[in-house]
Amino acid sequence: MIALILGAGVVLVLGLLLVLGIQIVKVAGALALALLVLPLIFTVYTSLAVGAISFAFFWQLWGEAYAAGSFALAGVIALAFGVGMMKWVMHSITRFVNRLRGLRFAHSTQKEEQA
C-alpha cells in the first residue's frame, strides 16, 4: 500500500515538473536544453514507480516470481515511453529553432527592402 502511494506521488510530481518544463521552454527558448533532461528523469522515476506499484500488486496476488517479472516489464515499458518522449522533444526543439531562423531571415530581408 505504501508503494502504491509513493509511486503515485512520484509520478504526479514528475508529471507536473514535465509540464512546467515545457511551459518554460515555450517562453524562453534558451532553456531548451533543460527539457532534454526532464524526459530522462521522468523515464527513470516512472519506471521505478510503476515497477514498485506492480511489484506490490503482484506480490499480494501470486508471489515473488511474478512480482519480479512485473517490475522488469514495467521498466521496459517506461523505457520505451521515455525514448519516444525524447524523440518528440528533439523534434519540437528542431521546429522551434527553425521557426526562430525563419523569423530572423524575414526580419533581415525587411530591413534590406526598407533601405
3-class SS string, 86-99: HHHHHHHHHHHHHH
List the domain boundaries for the chain.
2-114
69 pLDDT exceeds 60? yes
Please indicate whether residue 10 or residue 29 has the higher confidence score (pLDDT): 10
84 pLDDT exceeds 70? yes
Mean pLDDT of 56-83: 69
- pLDDT band (50, 70, 90) for residue 80: confident
- The answer to whether residues 50 and 78 touch, using CB atoms and an 8 Å cutoff, is yes
114 pLDDT exceeds 60? yes
91 pLDDT exceeds 70? yes
